[in-house]
A and B are shown apart, each in its own frame.
Chain A
Amino acid sequence: MKKSLFTAALLLMTILMFGQAKKPILMVVPSDNFCIQKGYSMTVNANGNEQVLPDYKTALQSSDELRLVITKMGSIMADRGFPLKDLEQSLKSIESESAEISMLQSKSSGAAINETPIDILKRTAKADIILDLDFVVKRQGPNNFISFNLRGLDAYTNKQVAGVAGAGAPSSSASVDLLLEEAVLSHMDDFNGQLMTFFDDMFKNGREVKLVIRVWDNADVDLEQDFDADGTYDMLSFHIENWMAENTVSGRFSTVDATGTMMRFEQVRIPTTFTHNGREMAMDTRRFAANLNRYLAGEPFNIESKIYQRGLGEAWLIIGER
Chain B
Amino acid sequence: MKKTLFIAFLAIFAFTSVHAQSRKERKAMYDSKYNYEIQSLGVGQDGTKLVKIWGYGKKADDAVYEAKRNAVAAVIFRGVPAGNGAAATPPILTIDGYEKNADFFDDFFKAGGMYLSFVNSTTDGMPGGADRIKMKKGYKVALSASVAYDQLRKYLEEKGIAKKLDSGF
Residues of chain A having any CB pair with chain B under 8 Å: 20-24, 79-82, 164, 166, 168-170, 182, 185-187, 189-190, 192-193, 195-196, 199, 203, 272
Contact = CB atoms under 8 A, between A and B. Distances in A.
21 contacts: A20-B168, A22-B169, A81-B164, A81-B165, A82-B165, A164-B87, A169-B42, A169-B43, A169-B86, A186-B85, A189-B87, A189-B90, A190-B87, A190-B88, A190-B89, A190-B90, A193-B90, A196-B163, A199-B168, A203-B168, A272-B168
Contacts of B169: 20-24, 81
Contact of A82 (B90, B149, B166): B166
Given A166-B87, A169-B84, A182 B165 contact: no
Contacts of A187: 87
A49 B52 CA distance: 57
Contacts of A189: 87, 89-90, 149
Interface string B56-93: 00000000000000000000000000101111111000
B70 to A, nearest CB: 19
Among B88, B89, B169, which residue has the most Cβ atoms of chain A within 10 A? B169
Contacts, number: 56
Given A189-B149, A199-B165, A169 B90 contact: no
Interface of B: 42-44, 46, 82, 84-90, 149-150, 163-166, 168-169
9 cross-chain pairs, A with B, having the tightest CB-CB distances, nearest first: A169-B85, A81-B166, A193-B90, A23-B169, A80-B165, A182-B43, A186-B87, A186-B43, A168-B85
Given A164-B87, A185-B46, A187-B87, A192 B165 contact: yes
